[in-house]
Amino acid sequence: MSSSVNVANENGVAVVMIDNPPVNALSFHVREPLYEALAALRDDATAKAIVIACAGRTFVAGADITEFGKPVQQPELRAIVALLETIAKPTVAAIHGTALGGGLELALGCHFRVADQGAKLGLPEVKLGLLPGGGGTVRLPRLVGATKALGMIVSGTPISASEAKTAGLVDAVFDGDLLAEGIRFAREMAAAGGPFTPVRERNGRLAETEPAAFDRQAAELAKKARGLEAPLACIEAVRNAITLPFDEALAAERQLFLKLVSGDQSRAQRHLFFAEREAAKVPGKDPQRRKIARVGIIGAGTMGGGIAMAFANGGFPVILLETSEEALQRGLSMIEKNYAVSVSRGSLSEEARQQRLGLFKGSTDYADLADCDLVIEAVFEDMAVKKQVFGKLDAVARPGAILATNTSYLDVNEIAASTARPQDVLGMHFFSPANVMKLLEIVRAEQTAPDALATVAELARRIGKVAVVVGVCHGFVGNRMLSARGAENEFLLLEGATPSQVDKAFTDFGWPMGPFQMGDLAGLDIGWRNRKARGLTAVVADTLCEQGRFGQKTGSGWYRYESGSREPAADSDVEELIRAKAAALGIARREIAADEIIERTLYPLVNEGARILEEGVAARASDIDVVWVNGYGFPIGKGGPMFWAGLEGGARIVERLEHWHERTGRPIFEPASLLRRFAETGSWEGVDC
Ligand code: T1G
């Protein structure tokens, strides 16, 4: 046998053990020996039953994603599953860890599936812009019914072993020695004598489908696709499973898969899969991690409370410090309310709510932070206040504790220099709401120790965050690029566009919402305060704020909101204000097309990303993509701004930036030299940073 697949005979039960670290992906060097082993065992009379299991921490986690886009090497997974279904003796998949994608499809080729109680099973291909291409769309509905299958395949969300047992996907759940239990189960099945019916021949659950209910569910799911092809293909494939004979549905699945796997959207989403894993890796030698057990958060406001919840959700005991008992209680009660809302929505059990609340300890005394391993400040965004906090922290925190600032744009080098331990200081820029948003920018200051950085990057995943290491500059990566993306917004309005037109150009592109609707959601007063602090103006937005129009929270901003509604309605008063401002500035208004809106907002976004790469504030172009997809809702089907630049064409972006630079003279349109090089080479790589 090969090093990736080994076969042992346990008193008449053949055990096929896959061993392909780290996640037993079905790489070619696994598929080939696996096929050979199963073909041999099919005709081996000494094997009364077959168990497929995996070494290491998980059952097969899917096809090898790195193989997509390369020449296909036979046998493919589909051939292995087809072979499995010709085997008359009982076949059993013994699942631990995660059986995902092709891993679950391999298990669906077996007569039986048994699982460890902690196992998870799912078909997450849709998250890669794909659909299950190994027969999952045709077999899963035959075990769990079309409705359950459709929900699992279109969401890509795995289910627990117990849920899988209830649904009919798993035949037994064990708590203990899974392999031994799997072998015993297989032996019992062999002794019982069958019949052993392949999943492809089981149509009972399909017959339960109510076409009208299925169509309603499909229509609801299709509405959420927001321009992504894979969810629609998943729906079509599951519908085929109900309406077509097995082999026709299987062939249709294959065609849908081939179309998706070669498409831009799947390439973009596979790019993001690996980019997210790269972004958390700190270039250079992999240092020792520091122990993080106790976490302190300074500031129990919106951000501090959200950050504290993120750590409690990750199982960490949290000390939440405020300047007064009243402020502390206000923060703690907001946290309790947030958890209560989650329970009422059914997204959190009462038991989990109690357990998480039990992890919080409140304090108004810095001395209580003395044994924390990590302290994060989320106080008022003012350098003097931050320095005061770090001065106190420097005095009480234990040696080796990591001291983090949640600042969204202040100079972390300056904050670090205000302590005697700059090597322990870094930025942890969470995005509001911090207990929900996945992005965490980890700001590497000049003197931040590599082990402190690596510790926090690893910690991020334990609290469900996607970490990106960034350098120090105003706004780091995300907010700095956000400024570039929004620099033309008011000019577009003054020159003839309406807020709705700009926002529609964005939502048609695939954004969840456009900049003006986003401004109304976040509150226009935030930007107004920042502009005043920096001596900047925005002729229209400033006037709206002076009129008390801060957005949703005041019932009007760029749009009007009927009482209690969050639905934006175009406001003729705002459009009149824009026209008046334009007239006062002598700006002749004209029709502005969606293409122009995209060119004057998203091309500067890419250009600023190129500058950030040139300056070394980001280590990789893919890091910038991870920031924008996880922090700002950049459409995943376009892979992030830097990946999308490749789809759009670097030369076209440069040409249009030059056009707008010549027409307006504004610096954001001056193409970065790295962007020019990208236009020539098609690659962001080779950037020394
Ligand atoms: N292929 C190749 N590499 C993979 C991989 C995969 N399927 N899954 C993980 N890796 C790498 C990953 O890049 C990382 O590499 C290392 O393994 C550890 O991963 C035909 C078409 C299983 C839940 O989508 O969800 O089957 O950074 O850091 O946090 O229908 O990995 O160490 O160099 O994520 O413990 C469907 C993808 C594929 C599952 C484990 N399957 N993987 O999480 O570790 S398409 C998936 C995951 C398919 C068929 C279709 C997670 C995990 P490095 P990690 P983790």
Q: Is the CB of 116 under 6 A from ligand 1?
A: no
End-to-end CA distance of the chain: 45
Q: Is the CB of 231 under 6 A from ligand 1?
A: no
- The residue among 584, 481, 482 whose CA lies nearest residue 526 is 482
Residues 12-46 have pLDDT tens digits of 999 999 999 999 999 999 999 999 999 999 999 99
Of the pLDDT bands very low, low, confident and very high (cuts 50, 70, 90), residue 2 is confident
687: pLDDT strictly greater than 70:
no
* CATH 1.10.1040.10 placement within the chain: 594-688
Question: Is the minimum distance from the CB of 233 to ligand 1 under 6 angstroms?
Answer: no
Query: Could you give the C-alpha distances from 43 to 12, 47, 188, 193, 332, in angstroms and in order?
Result: 13, 8, 20, 17, 66
- Quick one: which of 483, 578, 566, 586 has its CA closest to 520? 566
Q: pLDDT value at position 686?
A: 54
What is the DSSP pairing of strand 318-321 with strand 360-363? parallel
pLDDT in tens, 105-153: 999 999 999 999 999 999 999 999 999 999 999 999 999 999 999 999 9
Cβ of 25 less than 6 Å from ligand 1: yes
Residue range 5-262 forms a domain whose CATH class is alpha beta
Handedness of CA 282, 286, 291, 293 (dihedral sign): positive
Helical spans, DSSP H, in 123-167: 136-144, 146-155, 161-167
Residue 409: name the closest of 431, 438, 388, 389 by CA. Answer: 431
Report whether pLDDT(58) > 80.
yes
Mutate to test the pocket of ligand 1, among 28, 31, 54, 65 (most ligand atoms within 8 A of CB): 65
Q: Is 156 in the pocket of ligand 1 (CB under 6 A)?
A: no
CB 568, CB 561: distance < 8 Å? yes
77 Cβ closer than 6 Å to some ligand 1 atom? yes
Total residue length of the chain: 689
Q: How far is the CA of 156 from the centre of ligand 1 (A)?
A: 14
Nearest partner of 194 among 45, 90, 52, judged by Cα: 90
Residue 190 token pair: 């062999």
Cα of 514 from ligand 1 centre, angstroms: 33
pLDDT at residue 283 tops 80: no
Residue 105 a catalytic site member: yes
Identify the residue whose C-alpha is closest to ligand 1 atom 13.
274
For atom 28 of ligand 1, the residue with the nearest CA is: 277
CA distance 442 to 429: 6
For 592-631, list the strands marked E by DSSP. Answer: none
Percentage above 90 pLDDT, the chain: 92
- Which residue puts its alpha carbon closest to atom 14 of ligand 1? 277
For residues 159-179, give the mean pLDDT.
Answer: 97
Q: Is the pLDDT of residue 1 over 70?
A: no
CA–centroid distance, 66 to ligand 1, in Å, is: 10
130 lines ligand 1 (CB under 6 A): yes
The pLDDT of residue 282 is: 79
Give the Cβ contact number of residue 319 at 10 Å.
Answer: 21
- Residue of 76, 85, 125, 596 with catalytic role: 125
Q: Is 132 in the pocket of ligand 1 (CB under 6 A)?
A: yes
Mean pLDDT for 316-340 is 96
Q: Greatest CA separation found in the chain? A: 92
d(CA 213, CA 208) in angstroms, rounded, equals: 11
Residue-level pLDDT at 688: 39
**Residues carrying CATH 3.90.226.10, the chain:** 5-262
Q: Where in the chain is the domain with CATH 1.10.1040.50?
A: 497-584
Torsion sign (Cα): 135, 139, 144, 146: positive
The Cα 558–Cα 547 span in angstroms is 12
Residue 630, helix vs strand vs coil = helix
Centroid of ligand 1 to alpha carbon of 27 (angstroms): 12
Q: Taking residues 264-284, what's their average pLDDT? A: 92
Q: How many angstroms does the Cα of residue 505 sit away from the middle of ligand 1?
A: 34
**CATH entry, 594-688, from 1.10.1040.10, 3.40.50.300, 1.20.120.1200, 1.10.3720.10:** 1.10.1040.10
CATH T-level topology, domain 497-584: N-(1-d-carboxylethyl)-l-norvaline Dehydrogenase; domain 2 (1.10.1040)
Which residues have C-beta within 8 Å of that of residue 65, sequence separation ≥ 6? 25, 128, 270, 273, 274
Residue 386 confidence class, pLDDT cut points 50, 70, 90: very high
Ligand 1 site-directed mutation target among 23, 28, 30, 466, most atoms within 8 Å of CB? 23
pLDDT in tens, 294-319: 999 999 998 999 999 999 999 999 99
∠ at Cα 345 (340, 348), nearest 5°?
65
The answer to whether the CB of 234 is under 6 A from ligand 1 is no
Q: Please, what sign has the CA dihedral across residues 116, 117, 118, 123? A: positive
The H or E element containing residue 658 is helix 650-664
Q: What is the pLDDT of residue 381?
A: 87
State how far the Cα of 100 lies from the Cα of 61, in Å rounded to an integer: 5
Which class would CATH give 295-474? alpha beta
Q: What are phi and psi of 352, to 5 degrees?
A: -65, -35
Tokens read off for 287: 């240092």
pTM, rounded to two decimals:
0.94
- Report CA(23)–ligand 1 centroid distance (Å): 7
Distance 171 CA to ligand 1 centre (A): 25
Q: For ligand 1, is residue 133 a contact (CB within 6 Å)?
A: yes
* Residues facing 298 on adjacent strands: 321, 377
Residue predicted with more confidence, 69 or 477: 477
**pLDDT value at residue 606:** 98
Q: Where do the CATH 3.40.50.720 domains begin and end in the chain?
A: 295-474
pLDDT band per the 50, 70, 90 thresholds, residue 286: confident
Atom of ligand 1 nearest to the CA of 281: 27
